Amino acid sequence: MVYKTMISGSYFGDYEVIFRKHRRHTIRAKEDSNILILSKEVYRDVIEQDYPEVAKQMADLAKVKQLRAKACFTVVLSGAKQPA
């Protein structure tokens, strides 16, 4: 099942890194891609420590993205046909 197709410059997994959650999804590239990995440790040691204002902005955005994703998922589920 494809949940979302990413475009160039997109990112994912921010919610899990910021809020120290277990990653629930697997990502698969359809073509050769350049990937930058920001580990939880680097986020905590660099972003949170040295750039707290950036960390707050990232956390606020991650919360909004998570709420939107939950809302879309709920709409899809509520619109699905129920088994007979």
- HEC letters along the chain: CCCCCCCCCCCCCHHHHHCCCCCCCCCCCCCCCCCCCCCHHHHHHHHHHHCHHHHHHHHHHHHHHHHHHHHHHHHHHHHCCCCC
Per residue in 41-67, pLDDT (tens digit) is: 888 899 899 999 998 998 898 888 888
Let me know if residue 32 belongs to a domain.
yes
How many domains are there within the chain? 1
Let me know if residue 71 belongs to a domain.
yes
Let me know if residue 50 belongs to a domain.
yes
Let me know if residue 26 belongs to a domain.
yes
Domain that holds residue 33: 14-79
State the pLDDT at residue 75. 55
Let me know if residue 5 belongs to a domain.
no
pTM of the model: 0.60
Let me know if residue 84 belongs to a domain.
no
Let me know if residue 21 belongs to a domain.
yes
